[in-house]
Amino acid sequence: MKSFLKNNELPTVAALQDVLKSVSSYSFSFITLSQNYYAQLVDSLPHHAVNVDEYAQTISIYPSISSEKILNRKTEILACAQSFRLAANNLMSMIGDNFDVDLQTLDGLYHLRFIEGIRVKSRKLNDEWIFSLHGAECRFENIITGQKLAVIIITFPEFGYLNAYFFHLFMSTTAIFKPLNNYLENNLTNVSKALDLLVLEGMLTEKEMPLGSKRKIAL
């Protein structure tokens, strides 16, 4: 169910709670949005995930596991985000060392997309890892363990920023974190909510990205 509001008349928490008694999901548009309003929604809708699309100026509310259940594992979720950041920066450092790429500017990275003028799907990094470059991202895969990391490269020289999809991909393909992924029901909405809750808890920080999107990073 979707509603378009006029004059930034954002619904009250009570009104949303009432609407969600009869529908499972709800979306509405906004003109401006305060962090306080978003935090109120998250706090007052513990069994839902609240997704803010700054570019489309839309808030969407979906069913999810409870906030309490997620926060019971917040230390493990933070450890997973920290592990992602470490792995992402280490792998990009290997690209810098192996292919003479300046990670402060990304000079030399563009040329890795081609071999003799032909676009390549993937390259070998070492005996364990392959990687592919596309758009603003670099995707790594461990050919031995199956572990996968999708790394945002436009935040250079820091490569540890992630979104819900990247975090879910990493968590679900990393042996030590697969139990955590199962705890979050192998569900992207639940993973997204977990990231948002850790931002509100002050355990992760958030950075504005192009086109109104946001990315999170472990402290």
* DSSP state letters, 38-86: HHHHHHH-TTEEEEEETTTTEEEEEE-S-HHHHHTTHHHHHHHHHHHHH
Residues 189, 41: Cα–Cα separation, whole Å: 16
Interatomic CA distance for residues 79 and 74, integer angstroms: 9
Question: Which pLDDT tens digits describe the chain residue by residue (219 residues)?
Answer: 555 455 568 899 999 999 999 999 999 988 888 878 988 999 999 999 999 887 788 999 999 999 999 999 999 999 999 999 999 999 999 999 999 999 999 999 888 887 656 677 889 999 999 999 988 899 999 999 999 999 999 999 999 999 999 999 999 999 999 999 999 999 999 999 999 999 999 999 988 776 556 788 887
User: Is pTM beyond 0.85 here?
Assistant: yes
